[in-house]
Amino acid sequence: MDILKMIADLRRERACLDEAITSLEKLSQTEPPRRGRPPAWSKVAGVNAPRGRTGQNGAVNGAAAGAQKI
């Protein structure tokens, strides 16, 4: 086994773990969701709130569409 290759792999793994720990620390320190535009770092991290109303006439999860099929 190549020791240098193993060390390089472990360093890459440590970098990934450090990034994950940093993201989790940011999430734990945040306040409850506020109204308005989300912070820029949340878009990079992929932490966005679920979208609000969708569909035609503001139907939520197809509730209005199901009522029209009667």
Residue 2 domain boundaries: 1-26
Distance (Å, rounded) from C-alpha 70 to C-alpha 65?
10
Q: Considering the domain boundaries, does residue 11 fall inside one?
A: yes
Q: What is the pTM of this model?
A: 0.40
Residues in the chain: 70
Question: How many domains does one find in the chain?
Answer: 1
Q: Considering the domain boundaries, does residue 22 fall inside one?
A: yes
Task: Give the tokens for residue 12.
Answer: 């890459």
Q: Considering the domain boundaries, does residue 40 fall inside one?
A: no
Q: Considering the domain boundaries, does residue 12 fall inside one?
A: yes
Q: Considering the domain boundaries, does residue 1 fall inside one?
A: yes
Cβ(68)–Cβ(58) below 8 Å:
no
What is the chain's pLDDT, residue by residue, as a tens digit (70 residues)?
Answer: 799 999 999 999 999 999 999 999 988 887 776 788 877 877 776 555 555 555 566 555 555 555 555 5
